[in-house]
Amino acid sequence: MQIGIIGAGGATRGIHLPGFELCADAEVTVLCDTDRDAARATGVRETCTDYRQILARQDIDAVVVATPNYLHHEIVLAALAAGKHVLCEKPLALNREEAEAMLHAAERAGRVHMTAFTYRFTPAIQHARRLVEQGELGQLRTVRAAYLMALAGHVLGWRSEKRLAGSGVLADIGSHLVHITQYLVGDIRSLTASERRFREDPASDVEDWIAFLAEFANGASGTFEISRVAPGRGAGVTEDIFIELYGTKGSIVFSLQDPWGLMAALGEDALDPTRALRHYEVPHEQLKIASSPRDVMAHDRRWGYRYDQAFQFVESVKRGETRAPSFADGLRCQAVLDAALESAREKRWVEVA
């Protein structure tokens, strides 16, 4: 399987390239970036500066779109029209309408499509999903979710301009938090949001912080907070995601800094109000997705699970079968992002499309 990557940024260098290197049946043949030096610095054998050169090649089976957000829609539609399978970075688009067009184009083309929600592959998230599906928490009542990080240079630049990014911290890291929570709990039905731009940066017109109350389709209620101006909360591998689920029979508390474990109150522990949360290790067989070639001990446990994303994409193309997280998941997330921005702007509850 021959793969072309469009974009030589941090996601490509830190996630996509090392992920595909672990896939025996795939090779990154060519990489495109408008910065020729950045493209060459990745070490990929062939490089170019115009993504259309990749799409015109008959030997390229699939492409990874890892560009600034405003280019996703244009490049994905062109890639699908050229018959390529597509893995696209999150958020899928600038808005729901673009994301919907991308999903429909992928379905019409009959190509495999995937949205790069890498945190979905965290072992503790996979284990939490299994516990929820097994009914260990009973009926979910409340959700508490936060993604907090300190201000870092990699979140500035194009990520601080609405026309290029769609929104600020909401699109950048909030899309991850929304997707993971949807994966564990289900669809968000309505929400009410508030946002702030704290940084005095004339080059920025996007929010640095946003929070919202949410009502889920299954009746659960939730609170979300997303910030990239939280000193001490880390950046990159040290940043943190918190998700707490409370149900009629038990609870789960997840932290990204403990990707191989969960704090939880299950069974008899949940029935006794004097008992505190207990730590549970993720079963060894859940430390990577089925058949993944990854050695779970070979990388930092806070990072290595991300490489399973590349393996699933390659396997999906080989099977000719789109699997979650697909463009449909990207669209479901985008609908929530749009609703949160509308709510913050109009200061009212908004139904999620």
- Could you tell me the CATH superfamily of domain 2-117+307-322? NAD(P)-binding Rossmann-like Domain (3.40.50.720)
Q: How far is CA 158 from CA 69, 70, 106, 132, 260, in A?
A: 9, 10, 27, 38, 33
Given the candidates 3.40.50.1970, 3.40.50.20, 3.30.360.10, 3.40.50.720, the CATH classification of the domain at 120-302+335-346 is 3.30.360.10
What's the token pair of residue 245? 């689920």
How far is the C-alpha of 254 from the C-alpha of 261, rounded, in Å? 8
Domain locations along the chain: 2-117+307-322, 120-302+335-346
Do the strands 2-6 and 261-265 form a parallel or antiparallel pair, or are they unpaired?
unpaired
Classify residue 320 as left (phi > 0), alpha (psi -120 to 50) or beta: left
Of 180, 185, 243, 178, whose CA–CA distance to 216 is shortest?
Answer: 185
Do the strands 221-227 and 209-216 form a parallel or antiparallel pair, or are they unpaired?
antiparallel
How much is the pTM?
Answer: 0.97
Instruction: List the chain pLDDT tens, one digit each, 353 residues.
Output: 999 999 999 999 999 999 999 999 999 999 999 999 999 999 999 999 999 999 999 999 999 999 999 999 999 999 999 999 999 999 999 999 999 999 999 999 999 999 999 999 999 999 999 999 999 999 999 999 999 999 987 778 999 999 999 999 999 999 999 999 999 999 999 999 999 999 989 999 999 999 999 999 999 999 999 999 999 999 999 999 999 999 999 999 999 999 999 999 999 999 999 999 999 999 999 999 999 999 999 999 999 999 999 999 999 999 999 999 999 999 999 999 999 999 999 999 999 99
